[in-house]
Amino acid sequence: MLQPTPGTVHFTQVLVHTPVYSQMAGALTYLSSAVLPPGSLVRVPLGQRELLGVVWHETTSPESPQAGLDISRLRPITVVLDALPPLSAHWRALIQFAASYYQRSAGEVALSALPPQLRELSSVQLARKLKKLAKTVEKTAGTGAESASETTFAESQSAIYSVVLSADQTRAIDQFNQNQGPFLLFGATGSGKTEVFMRCSAELLARSPGAQVLVMVPEINLTPQLEERFRARFGHLWGADAVVSLHSGMTPAQRLNSWLAAHSGAARIVLGTRMAVFASMPQLQLIIVDEEHDPSYKSGEGARYSARDLAVYRAHQEGIKVMLGSATPSLESWYHSRPAAEGGRYQRLDMPSRVGSGQLPLVRRVDMNHQPKGCIIAPPLLSAIAERVARGEQSMLFLNRRGYAPVLECTDCGWKSTCPHCSAFRVFHKIDRTLRCHHCGLTERVPRACPACGNPDISPVGRGTERLEEHLAELLVDIRRPDGEAVRIVRIDADTTRLKGALESQLAQVHAGDVDVLVGTQMIAKGHDFRRITLVAAVNPDNALFSSDFRAPERLFSLLMQAAGRAGRDAAVAAKSEMWLQTFHPTHPLYAALKQHDYPAFAESQLQERQQASMPPLSFQALVRAEGRTQEAAQMFLNRASQAAREQSDTAAMLPHLTIYPAVPMSIARIANVERAQMLIESSSRTALQRFLTAWQSVLHSTRAEPQCKGLIRWAVDVDPLLI
């Protein structure tokens, strides 16, 4: 318990959750009766509210007040959560760097990284939770206390070496142990990357008592199966509570318990999504980023940080190792893992072969130009699926669009199911006869007739997973399983997995063999270890081939190659596994590279194009996004801020190193009746871009206050954006 100094009051700098565009984006000064170390958690008053805060700087005495500080207006700290050890200097440095690099306020980043329930519990309640946690750890550690050290060491050695490694895995682990990294584990799907992760973690934990490992996955639905594998490997050594998950899908109580276990050091392994990169882990020794290429590691709202890049920075800052793993690395990581003589900063660990006798699936391209007009499933593909069903094998159809159809249309007047609040269509969901906007959430019943002309003949246009599931059931109605039963089709997407436990239940059905055909979005296309699937099909992958987004080919190739990797993972069926592509452009170079499973060739061609166009990773970008009541107000703010940057000396000095484009509407210009615009800034120098953005912050604040920008709601800077 912190002891107050009798008769004295101290000035304490506290970070609270305030956005960068507000007038209170920095640390706020409060009064405290005790000297509080930086990193202490407190609750402080702000207006009529009481907020959670983090003590950010050394507490100062009344003899050295800040210049211009009106002491009479300062308010005292309400509660000090002194039951918790202060957040470490490393953690605070990570928060400060993330806030600075991504142009956010430190308070916004710091408080978003903490579990929400900390805002509600008293110091006494926290002390009880920590005491209970300590008892659990002590009980686990005390099991089999006789000759505990020898027993634990023998058990850990047995657990580490219980799995026979392939030559590729052995070579990758040896290189990992002998070098400092950062490492890019480039392994084919099914090559055993997860086993490498577990082996490296096991050796570290056996070697360093108290050490902690952070394992990151891109999506919540990949966490349960990974947690199960890590618990099976490490649970009997340190107890089930030594492996915890940390993601936004957990209840507030679960998230708090996991965070406390990590913060106290009780959790040896933390598995989590992008938010876990900010987990407080005082004994962190290794960071693993699985499926590092996945766009989900980049936050799309709030502090728009890249968890993958912050993981690399955190490892460098704390002097520990980091391993990024993928079968289709991001072009940024691939570029950084080129030979050191060419400027590469990462060390590439290659695992080109699947474990055991597993083989990568044969890729077949179906030219839809030669198929019956309007067919959804090509006859050759349908026959191949039927053959799999008859043999008791599983197939997977991938379509990255949920719902029944993306739009309803009137055949007479051309009315379409647009959203009244967004510049997007409402998607038709047949299962409950609703039109849903996937942007603002507006949901309405399907009208009985066209709202514009009264025509009762309104029909769906295009298709989603719901319609694909229905159509497939019609086509396979006469096909029978080996036991004589009808075909079993299951759809997995965001609509079928909304209820708690639904995803786990559906995946269990697939693993148990109770499903013949699996239909879904990208949720099923990556990370899952489906042992019975021998056929994977991409129904309509052409949409991304000619996108205006320069990253679209990279995302499509990764998604298709990851989807192909779900087939043939069991050596018993690997020889007959196939990946089918239904395309109107079968000769496209992307599909040619995919047929050969040749990611290096694809990456090389993409990097050449990026170099010619001066695109990332050979240049650096930032987007300034503005939201306003009108499109004119949003664009006015951006253009006036751009003009002001040319007139101020500290920003104008950076302009020769930058290209600032005019403001334009975003691809979806209106969401929930808020108009959105953006401005792109490019530079060949990361340093020049960062210096400009930092100096530009004051310009953006002053521009917002101008009368011409009265209709502006908010603005935000997105550094290293993924979507332009």
Cβ atoms of residues 326 and 337 within 8 Å: no
* Residue 419 assigned ligand-binding role: yes
- 3-state SS, 570-606, equals CCCCHHHCEEEEEECCCCCHHHHHHHCCCHHHHHHHH
Cβ atoms of residues 247 and 223 within 8 Å: yes
If one counts every other C-beta atom within 10 angstroms of the C-beta of residue 247, the result is 20
Reference 58, options 86, 97, 84, 98; nearest CA is 86
Cα dihedral: 599, 605, 608, 610 (round 10): -70
- The overall longest dimension of the chain from CA atoms, in Å, is 88
CB-based contacts of 655-661 (< 8 A; 24+ apart in sequence): 655/692, 657/683, 657/684, 657/685, 657/688, 657/689, 657/692, 658/682, 658/683, 658/688, 658/689, 658/692, 659/683
Task: Return the beta strands (E) in 249-305 as ranges.
Answer: 269-272, 284-290
Question: Using only C-alpha atoms, what is the Rg of the chain?
Answer: 28
For residue 116 the two structure tokens come to 């929400």
Q: How many residues does the chain have?
A: 724
* Residue 450 assigned ligand-binding role: yes
Q: Is the peptide bond before 329 cis (omega within 30 degrees of 0)?
A: no
Q: Give the Cα-Cα-Cα angle 9, 11, 12 (nearest 5 degrees).
A: 125
For residue 626 the two structure tokens come to 């503005």
* Residue 614 DSSP SS3: coil
* Bridge partner list, 18: none
Reference 721, options 662, 669, 681; nearest CA is 681
* Residue 221 DSSP SS3: helix
**CA gap 340, 541 in Å, rounded:** 36
Region of residue 19 (left: phi > 0; alpha: psi -120 to 50; beta: else) = beta
**CA gap 333, 464 in Å, rounded:** 33
H or E element in which residue 498 lies: none
**CA gap 461, 407 in Å, rounded:** 6
* Residue 709 assigned ligand-binding role: no
**CA gap 342, 293 in Å, rounded:** 22
Dihedral pair phi/psi, residue 76, rounded to 5° = -80, 155
Task: Return the beta strands (E) in 487-589 as ranges.
Answer: 489-492, 517-520, 533-538, 578-583
Cβ atoms of residues 460 and 407 within 8 Å: yes
* Residue 375 assigned ligand-binding role: no
**CA gap 109, 99 in Å, rounded:** 6
Name, in order, each residue with C-beta under 8 angstroms of 147's C-beta and a sequence gap of 6 or more. none
Task: Return the beta strands (E) in 629-673 as ranges.
Answer: 658-660, 664-671
Cβ atoms of residues 38 and 92 within 8 Å: yes
Task: Point out the annotated binding site.
Answer: 410, 413, 419, 422, 437, 440, 450, 453
Binding site, annotated residues for Zn(2+): 410, 413, 419, 422, 437, 440, 450, 453
